[in-house]
């Protein structure tokens, strides 16, 4: 399986604090590669480097065979790297459909100065509606984002990401703050869309990680201390000592 995304020895420091240290991993289409580790391990900083929010001090980000290390967030997004965030990031006063239509509009290169015109664009709305339907939110299209449940907002964020026509999804704790039923629904959604994308997943919900991931990399103090299949990671004594403990299910 050829790599769609490859991280090569990424390093990032803030002052004298090394946050990522020679982090390398690969991601293929149709694969979910989970990145786990304790708080402060450097996971979100790593995703910032992958998405283009932060420039690494050293190393390379290679996407679809192209070195994109010097490209910014927008340039990488246009090439097919889309991300979600730990904290829900939607426009609360706009409907679910309008939120996704804005992403479609941005992907088409339109200016946000004219974002309200997106309501009237049939082509934009059709693509936005398709993304909402895929995320199970078709019936909620006209509901203001502020009125959606937390889990529905997470589904909306995924719909926004899909509207960017990505090849790789960078998902930073998509299950954060969800209840058991909402988390199960999101796991089903991610399982359903997985064959079409490469997904780099940061998540603290270990049952979800072990249900979803094809491969797992474990980050501790900015370094990858283990990488392998879920079964290999679950059995690794170093991982259990650093993160999983003895009571994971």
CA–CA gap between residue 226 and residue 242 (Å, rounded) = 11
Query: CA-CA distance, 179 to 167, in Å (whole number)?
Result: 29
Burial class (CB in 10 A: 0-12, 13-18, 19+), 155: buried
Q: Which helix (H) or strand (E) holds 78?
A: helix 73-79
Of 190, 208, 202, the C-alpha closest to 134 is 190
Entry pTM? 0.87
Residues 88 and 56: their CA atoms lie apart, in Å, by 25
Classified as helix, coil or strand, 118 is: helix
The pLDDT value given to residue 112? 46
CA distances from 86 to 4, 25, 43, 178 (A): 24, 21, 11, 12
Tens digit of pLDDT at every position of the chain (249 positions): 679 999 999 999 999 899 999 999 999 999 999 999 988 889 999 999 999 999 999 999 999 999 999 999 989 988 999 887 545 568 899 999 999 998 888 776 654 444 555 555 677 788 899 999 999 999 999 999 999 999 999 999 999 989 888 999 999 889 988 889 999 999 999 999 999 999 999 998 999 999 999 999 999 999 999 999 999 999 998 888 766 665 443
Query: Where are any strands of DSSP class E within the chain?
Result: 5-14, 17-27, 32-36, 58-63, 66-67, 81-84, 168-172, 198-202, 215-220, 223-228
pLDDT of 119 reads 55
- pLDDT for the residue 114: 46
Tokens 């979800």 — which residue?
208
From residue 241, alpha-carbon distances to 16, 40, 74, 234, 237 in Å are 27, 16, 39, 11, 6
Question: In the chain, what are the domains?
Answer: 1-80+166-249 (3.40.50.300), 89-165 (no CATH)
């Amino acid at each position: 399986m050829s790599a769609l995304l490859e991280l090569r020895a990424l390093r990032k420091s803030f002052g004298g604090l090394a946050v990522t240290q020679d982090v390398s991993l690969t991601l293929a289409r149709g694969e979910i590669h989970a990145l786990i580790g304790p708080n402060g391990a450097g996971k979100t900083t790593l995703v910032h480097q992958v998405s283009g929010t932060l420039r690494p001090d050293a190393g390379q980000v290679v996407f679809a065979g192209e070195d994109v290390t010097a490209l910014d967030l927008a340039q990488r997004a246009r090439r097919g790297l889309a991300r979600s965030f730990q904290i829900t990031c939607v426009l609360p006063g706009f409907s679910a459909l309008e939120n996704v239509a804005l992403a479609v509009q941005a992907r088409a290169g339109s200016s946000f100065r004219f974002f309200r015109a997106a309501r009237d664009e049939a082509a934009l709305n059709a693509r936005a509606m398709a993304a909402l339907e895929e995320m199970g939110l078709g019936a909620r299209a006209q509901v203001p984002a502020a009125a959606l449940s937390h889990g529905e907002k997470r589904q909306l964020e995924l719909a926004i990401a899909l509207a960017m026509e990505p090849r790789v999804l960078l998902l930073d704790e998509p299950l954060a703050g969800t209840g058991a039923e909402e988390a199960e629904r999101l796991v089903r959604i991610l399982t359903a869309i997985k064959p079409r994308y490469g997904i780099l997943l940061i998540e603290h919900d270990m049952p979800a990680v072990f249900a979803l991931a094809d491969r797992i990399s474990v980050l501790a103090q900015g370094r990858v201390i283990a990488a392998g299949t879920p079964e290999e990671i679950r059995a690794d004594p170093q991982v259990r000592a650093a993160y999983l403990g003895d009571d994971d299910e």
